[in-house]
């Protein structure tokens, strides 16, 4: 248990907890950003440098922003007195605890045991590029298609509907 | 640093995300929690890549690259949906959006 | 078998065909009515005469000659016991009856042509008359008790139709009904006797070559068996059959219909209620004589059945004669006279056998028919007046009628040496001869004698009232002689009677020989002389009494009381009221019948109807229950079931709350459970 991991882990976890439990929704989004950053550090610690930086660029730079925009666009007129947790929150908490317990039990009882602290394997960006264009070219094209579709879909869904006859109250 | 520790941490992160998805009323926070869960899974991939059998293979990393991409797309579409829902129901309070009831 | 026997069936069939043809013709076809009925009757007469001649031919020295012709009518089983045979018989009894019925019938048919001239239902009258003639003739020629019974009933039907011919008169309709019902009561006994006879002997044929029910074998069997009370079966059967005869011939308890039957037209009274139908009862007894006379071998005295017949006959003779003394309707006097004479006939058969009774029957038919036709002529001539008190002095206005009537009346009363005297005398002789010395057994004779006195008295009374003195009716309408067509039959009958009375002819000698096949009774001459003397005395006593009371004193006006009535008012009133027998029946039998009918009606309306209603109500109740069941149990049960399913569905949809996070919770739990299972499953294996 070395210090960098510990600090990063704690930071990430705390900000994650904060993200889900703060009252102000914008604060939650900002804490999410913090969580992503923490995760990026952890990636770097694990030696996946490209992934870590991609994490920052995509998640922090795009996803979190989109979330903030969505929050701004859906400023709800909830009465402030209302709780931010729903009715079955206790049960949900218990369930999550159960899930966590299950996972820990699974981890601990699994036969996968690794050596600790192996040196970081060398994985250059060039190698990643080679992989993408070589072995993983098909997923690449697929994800391109997916992204296009998602883009168009999101635009259409979120677009303001004009001349809707009869529907949409 | 053992594999188990990393895994436990990743599990904890996942469970936090799950908790958020189950607890919060606001649909956007739920999506946010789902992002958390996805990221926890990504972390899992990298952990296993790092402490895996064949450290040379790039499969873990590739997987995560794709996963991040997909997560982003999914976040976009999901939030677009939330906006559409907000337009219809005038709220993003999940307690009120129960017309799928029965 | 002779030709006559083979064609015997034609004799009843010809009038039957005439009746059938007339029934189909339109209402006012008088020519056809006259031609068909008189023609068929004339033909029947010719055939009957031929049959008589044939029967005379067959006559031998031993026993009675008989020819019969049987045929199978119904077969309902195997063997001899499974067939019902009918047949015709030609024997002396049949032959003489046939000739009498056809001769008298033909004369009455001719008389009716004149009498019913003005009636609207002329054709129907002759149709019914022909039907009656057919039935009567069928009854006579029948060789089977069953065929006889069928014809017997037909005769009753025809009598009903004829008595009630003027049906618009309520008295006529009531009289017809009374006749039918009274004779029906007697016929019940007849039917029982017939069935019993069939059960005992296995056959209803009279003569069947030794196997018939009147022949030796059967009679012996009947006499040997005895029913309850030690009475021989033959006596029981005989008495039951006598019930039928008593009804038809108007013997004492069942005589009430005969006087009322005078409501019918006079030819009907003449034919049916003087000569033929009422004689059918006597004929039946004569036909069934072997059964009546059968005595068990070694038994003392005469047959019990014959004794009862004798007593009933004697009582009826006196009873009816007493009533006749006080009647004022010309036909009613003759009716009661008929009842009385029928009693004599029964008495004759009872004490003297078939020949004695039958001789009186045949002779009586002639002179009674003559008297009735004469009365019809009188009524016709006096413009439908029937009360003798309103007649008088008719002998001057209607001479032909008077003289013929006188002949008939003298025969009836028994003027010595007329044929009526002979027939009545034979009866009295047999009655005297059959006595066993005790007073009781002498009584029938004494009653017969007393009846003779009365007969003489009332007939002379009637004649003095109607024919002598001055006319007491309406002055403007003097009586007139009847047309020729009505006089001719009267003359014919009177001539026949005169013929029979001639000493040379001696009908009795010939008759008894013919009928009984040569064996005569041995009667001491002293008895015969005594009886003749007493009969003459009886005649003179009656005649002189009537003469003194009615002729010498003269009859004042129509409303003057009867001479007897002045002397003995209560007795006269009882006699005039016919001994109140009708009232007795009305009070007892008819009331009981009405009560029974009321009870039956109540039973029907209340009990059976009640039960039916009850069953209906039960059915309705079942239906109501079924409806209830259907509505509440089935419908609501089903509804309840459906609602439960509905509720179940509703409960099942509760998890589908629309709240996404609850779904997620479920997924979370499932995930945890799944992983655990996986882990433990893997680690276990």
Q: Are C295 and C302 in contact (CB under 8 A)?
A: yes
Residues facing C71 on adjacent strands:
C86
Q: What is the pLDDT of residues C340-356, one digit of tens each?
A: 999 999 988 888 778 88
Residue B22 lies in a domain: yes
Q: Which residues contact C471 (CB under 8 A, 6 or more apart)?
A: C391, C392, C393, C394, C397, C478, C479
Among the residue ranges B69-78, C215-224, C330-339, the one predicted with the least confidence is C215-224
With CA atoms as reference, report the closest residue to C98 among C52, C37, C147, C31.
C52
List the domains of chain A with CATH numbers: 1-75 (1.20.120.1200), 123-169 (no CATH)
Of the candidates C658, C661, C664, the beta carbon closest to that of B101 is on C658
pLDDT bin (cut points 50, 70, 90) of residue A168 is: very low
pLDDT bin (cut points 50, 70, 90) of residue A164 is: low
Q: Which CATH number does the domain housing residue B76 bear? A: 1.10.287.3510
Does position C596 have pLDDT exceeding 70, yes or no? Answer: yes
Q: Are A8 and A41 in contact (CB under 8 A)?
A: yes
Does position B56 have pLDDT exceeding 50, yes or no? Answer: yes
Q: Which residues from B are below 8 Å from C661, CB to CB?
A: 21-23, 30, 94
Does position A10 have pLDDT exceeding 90, yes or no? Answer: yes
- Total structural domains in chain B? 1
Q: In terms of pLDDT, which residue wins out, C569 or C95? A: C95
According to the model, what pLDDT value does residue B102 have? Answer: 67
Query: How many CB pairs lie under 8 A apart between chains A and C?
Result: 36
According to the model, what pLDDT value does residue A167 have? Answer: 45
Q: Are C416 and C539 in contact (CB under 8 A)?
A: yes
Residue B39 lies in a domain: yes
Q: Do B102 and C659 count as a contact with CB atoms less than 8 A apart?
A: no
With CA atoms as reference, report the closest residue to C428 among C458, C452, C455.
C452
Instruction: Find tokens 């002189």 and name the residue.
Output: C544
Q: Do B22 and C665 count as a contact with CB atoms less than 8 A apart?
A: yes
As a whole number, mean pLDDT of residues A2-14 equals: 91
Share of chain A above pLDDT 90, in %: 49
Highest mean pLDDT pick, B34-48, B49-63, C357-371, C527-541 = B34-48
Does position A117 have pLDDT exceeding 60, yes or no? Answer: no
Q: What is the pLDDT of residues A24-80, one digit of tens each?
A: 889 999 999 999 999 999 999 888 889 999 999 999 999 999 999 999 988 866 666
Q: Is the pTM of this model over 0.80?
A: no
Residue B98 lies in a domain: no
Minimum Cα–Cα distance from C650: chain B residue: B102
Residue B101 lies in a domain: no
Residues facing B26 on adjacent strands:
B93
Q: Do B94 and C665 count as a contact with CB atoms less than 8 A apart?
A: no
As a whole number, mean pLDDT of residues C121-149 equals: 91
Burial of C3 (0-12, 13-18, 19+ CB in 10 A): exposed
Residue B58 lies in a domain: yes
According to the model, what pLDDT value does residue A62 have? Answer: 92
Q: What is the pLDDT of residues C191-217, one digit of tens each?
A: 999 998 888 887 888 887 777 777 777
Testing the interface with C: which of B20, B95, B99 to mutate, by most C Cβ within 10 A?
B95
As a whole number, mean pLDDT of residues B17-29 equals: 91
According to the model, what pLDDT value does residue B50 have? Answer: 83
Residue B34 lies in a domain: yes
Q: Do B62 and A131 count as a contact with CB atoms less than 8 A apart?
A: yes
Which token pair is A90?
A: 């206790």
Minimum Cα–Cα distance from B95: chain C residue: C659
Does position C286 have pLDDT exceeding 70, yes or no? Answer: yes
Does position C72 have pLDDT exceeding 90, yes or no? Answer: no
Domain that holds residue B75: 3-89
Does position A169 have pLDDT exceeding 50, yes or no? Answer: no
ipTM of the complex: 0.91
As a whole number, mean pLDDT of residues C287-313 equals: 79
According to the model, what pLDDT value does residue C207 have? Answer: 80
DSSP C75: E
Does position C431 have pLDDT exceeding 70, yes or no? Answer: yes
Q: Smallest CA–CA separation between C658 and chain B, in Å?
A: 4
Mean of pLDDT over chain C: 83
Residue B78 lies in a domain: yes
Cα distances (angstroms) measured from residue C100 to each of A4, C97, C271, C363, C364: 163, 5, 11, 9, 11
Does position A113 have pLDDT exceeding 70, yes or no? Answer: no
Q: Which residues contact C189 (CB under 8 A, 6 or more apart)?
A: C239, C240, C241, C242, C243, C244, C247
Count other Cβ atoms within 10 Å, centred on residue C656: 13
Testing the interface with C: which of A85, A102, A107, A112 to mutate, by most C Cβ within 10 A?
A102
With CA atoms as reference, report the closest residue to A7 among B9, C301, C584, B100.
B9
Residue B96 lies in a domain: no
């Amino acid at each position: 248990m070395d210090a960098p991991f510990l600090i990063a882990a704690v930071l990430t976890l705390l900000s994650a907890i904060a993200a889900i439990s703060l009252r102000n929704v914008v604060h939650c989004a900002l804490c999410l950003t913090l969580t992503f950053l923490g995760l990026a550090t952890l990636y770097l610690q694990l030696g996946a440098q490209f992934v870590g930086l991609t994490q920052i660029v995509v998640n922090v730079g795009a996803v979190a922003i989109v979330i903030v925009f969505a929050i701004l666009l859906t400023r709800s007129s909830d009465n402030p007195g209302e709780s931010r947790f729903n009715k079955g929150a206790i049960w949900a908490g218990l369930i999550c605890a159960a899930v966590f317990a299950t996972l820990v039990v699974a981890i601990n009882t699994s036969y996968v045991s690794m050596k600790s602290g192996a040196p970081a394997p060398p994985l250059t960006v060039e190698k990643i590029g080679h992989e993408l264009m070589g072995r993983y070219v098909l997923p690449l094209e697929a994800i391109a298609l997916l992204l296009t579709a998602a883009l168009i879909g999101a635009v259409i869904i979120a677009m303001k509907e004009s001349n809707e006859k009869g529907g949409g109250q | 640093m053992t594999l188990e520790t990393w895994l436990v941490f990743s599990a904890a992160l996942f469970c936090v995300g799950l908790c958020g998805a189950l607890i919060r009323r606001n649909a956007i926070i739920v999506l946010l929690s789902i992002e958390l869960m996805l990221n926890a899974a990504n972390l899992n991939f990298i952990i296993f890549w790092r402490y895996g059998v064949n450290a040379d293979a790039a499969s873990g990393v590739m997987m995560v690259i794709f996963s991040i991409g997909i997560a982003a797309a999914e976040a976009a579409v999901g939030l677009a949906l939330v906006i559409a829902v907000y337009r219809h129901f005038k709220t993003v309070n999940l307690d009120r959006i129960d017309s799928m009831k029965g | 078998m002779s030709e006559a026997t083979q064609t015997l069936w034609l004799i009843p069939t010809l009038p039957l065909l005439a009746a059938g043809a007339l029934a189909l013709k339109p209402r006012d076809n008088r020519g056809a009515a006259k031609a068909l009925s008189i023609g068929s009757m004339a033909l029947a007469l010719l055939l009957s005469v031929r049959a008589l001649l044939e029967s005379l031919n067959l006559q031998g020295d031993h026993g009675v000659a008989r020819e019969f012709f049987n045929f199978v009518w119904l077969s309902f089983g195997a063997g001899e016991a499974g067939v019902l045979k009918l047949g015709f018989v030609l024997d002396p009894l049949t032959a003489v009856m046939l000739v009498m019925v056809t001769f008298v019938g033909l004369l009455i048919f001719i008389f009716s042509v004149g009498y019913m001239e003005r009636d609207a239902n002329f054709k129907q009258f002759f149709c019914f008359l022909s039907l009656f003639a057919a039935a009567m003739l069928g009854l006579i020629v029948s060789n089977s008790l069953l065929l006889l019974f069928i014809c017997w009933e037909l005769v009753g039907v025809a009598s009903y139709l004829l008595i009630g011919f003027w049906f618009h008169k309520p008295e006529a309709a009531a009289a017809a009904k009374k006749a039918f019902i009274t004779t029906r009561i007697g016929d019940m006994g007849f039917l029982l006797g017939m069935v019993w006879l069939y059960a005992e002997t296995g056959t209803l044929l009279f003569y069947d070559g030794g196997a018939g029910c009147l022949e030796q074998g059967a009679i012996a069997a009947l006499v040997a068996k005895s029913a309850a009370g030690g009475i021989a079966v033959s006596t029981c059967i005989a008495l039951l059959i006598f019930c039928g005869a008593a009804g038809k011939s108007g013997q004492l308890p069942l005589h009430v219909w005969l006087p009322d039957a005078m409501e019918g037209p006079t030819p009907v009274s003449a034919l049916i209620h003087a000569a033929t139908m009422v004689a059918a009862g006597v004929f039946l007894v004569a036909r069934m004589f072997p059964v009546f006379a059968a005595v068990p071998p070694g038994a003392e005295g005469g047959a019990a059945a014959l004794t009862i017949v004798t007593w009933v006959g004697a009582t009826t003779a006196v009873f009816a004669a007493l009533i006749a003394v006080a009647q004022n309707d010309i036909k009613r006097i003759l009716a009661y006279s008929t009842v009385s004479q029928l009693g004599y006939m029964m008495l004759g058969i009872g004490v003297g056998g078939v020949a004695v009774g039958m001789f009186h029957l045949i002779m009586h038919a002639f002179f009674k028919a003559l008297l009735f036709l004469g009365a019809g002529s009188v009524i016709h001539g006096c413009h439908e007046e029937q009360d003798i008190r309103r007649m008088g002095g008719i002998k001057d206005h209607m001479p032909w009628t008077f003289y013929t009537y006188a002949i008939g009346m003298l025969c009836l009363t028994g003027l010595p040496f007329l044929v009526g005297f002979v027939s009545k005398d034979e009866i009295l002789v047999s009655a005297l001869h059959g006595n066993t010395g005790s007073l009781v057994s002498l009584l029938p004779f004494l009653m017969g004698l007393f009846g003779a006195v009365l007969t003489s008295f009332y007939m002379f009374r009637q004649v003095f009232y109607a024919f002598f003195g001055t006319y007491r009716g309406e002055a403007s309408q003097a009586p007139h002689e009847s047309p020729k067509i009505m006089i001719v039959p009267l003359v014919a009958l009177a001539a026949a009677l005169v013929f029979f009375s001639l000493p040379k002819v001696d009908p009795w000698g010939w008759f008894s020989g013919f009928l009984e096949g040569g064996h005569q009774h041995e009667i001491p001459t002293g008895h015969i002389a005594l009886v003749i003397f007493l009969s003459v005395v009886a005649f003179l006593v009656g005649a002189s009494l009537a003469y003194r009371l009615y002729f010498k004193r003269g009859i004042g006006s129509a409303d003057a009381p009867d001479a007897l009535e002045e002397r003995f008012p209560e007795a006269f009133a009882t006699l005039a009221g016919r001994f109140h027998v009708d009232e007795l029946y009305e009070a007892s039998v008819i009331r009981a019948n009405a009560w029974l009918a009321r009870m039956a009606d109540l039973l029907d309306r209340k009990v059976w109807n009640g039960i039916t209603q009850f069953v209906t109500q039960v059915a309705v109740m079942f239906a109501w229950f079924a409806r209830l069941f259907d509505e509440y149990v089935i419908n609501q049960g089903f509804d309840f079931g459906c609602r439960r399913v509905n509720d179940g569905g509703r409960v099942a949809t509760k998890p589908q709350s629309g709240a996404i996070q609850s779904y997620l919770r479920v997924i979370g739990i499932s995930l945890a459970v799944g992983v655990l299972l996986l882990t433990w499953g893997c680690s276990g294996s």
